[in-house]
Structure 1
């Protein structure tokens, strides 16, 4: 999934979750996703609802988009696995030590990633990987 549409990404999540529930064999990416989804039981109803693929989640209505949240989790896990941008893995390790909980640390990184993406879109520039890592380092108490 290098550049999936919104619906393709959501369908991947729905299909992976259904395969998990059926006890089917999962691909490595599906397994990674299922591990993330298991940390978020509040999103299971969306993953079990085929109509959720078309649902809009408006921040104006105070709604968190579960698909966006899970997508950011997946992106961060992939980034950590290859230390991209460079230094992210070490900054995350320090953040996890400070917070004492991997999932809480992941949520802090998700906020940094979301901010980085927002700035890139606002400024019509590529995401600033160095600023992203610096934001994680700051949350870890390193900057």
Structure 2
């Protein structure tokens, strides 16, 4: 399993953004990341300065979303969908996107489920619970938006 460091993740997104701006060729993974970067113009300043990005600290108390975590979660959801892992995630994400009429909005809702699964796993010291994650996604997919 590929497990890049925090700095590697930040470099990847900063370099992808630079290549995108400069019209340079992108790898397949960079092309996917580039699409999500384009949908998040609020992160462009963070991505434009790689040195600052590598040193930045994002805390809940600051009230700012960590752009690197957010973009990484988009990529995780794309990968989960492509390989249907955990089994059933593709169907749940497709239903959620159809119900919200937006893949982007579906991803943002799915991130709540993904984040909860990871947080619970880290707090309890147990493996991530794919069944609870899918249950959360399915509940969101069948709930009428407020």
Q: TM-score, normalised by structure 1?
A: 0.95
Matches within 5 A, 1:20-99: 20-50=20-50, 51-99=52-100
| CA deviation string 1:80-105 (max 9, x = no partner) | 11111100010111111211111111
- Measure the CA separation in 2 of the matches of 1:9 and 1:97: 30
| CA deviation string 1:28-51 (max 9, x = no partner) | 000010011111000011110121
- How many residues get paired? 142
Cross-structure match for 1:126: 127
- Measure the CA separation in 1 of the matches of 2:126 and 2:136: 18
- What is the CA-CA distance between 1:110 and the residue it aligns to? 1.0
- What is the CA-CA distance between 1:54 and the residue it aligns to? 1.1
Cross-structure match for 1:117: 118
Q: TM-score, normalised by structure 2?
A: 0.93
The two structures, once aligned, show a CA RMSD in angstroms of 1.2
- Gaps of at least 5 residues in structure 1 are none
Cross-structure match for 1:14: 14
- What is the CA-CA distance between 1:112 and the residue it aligns to? 0.7
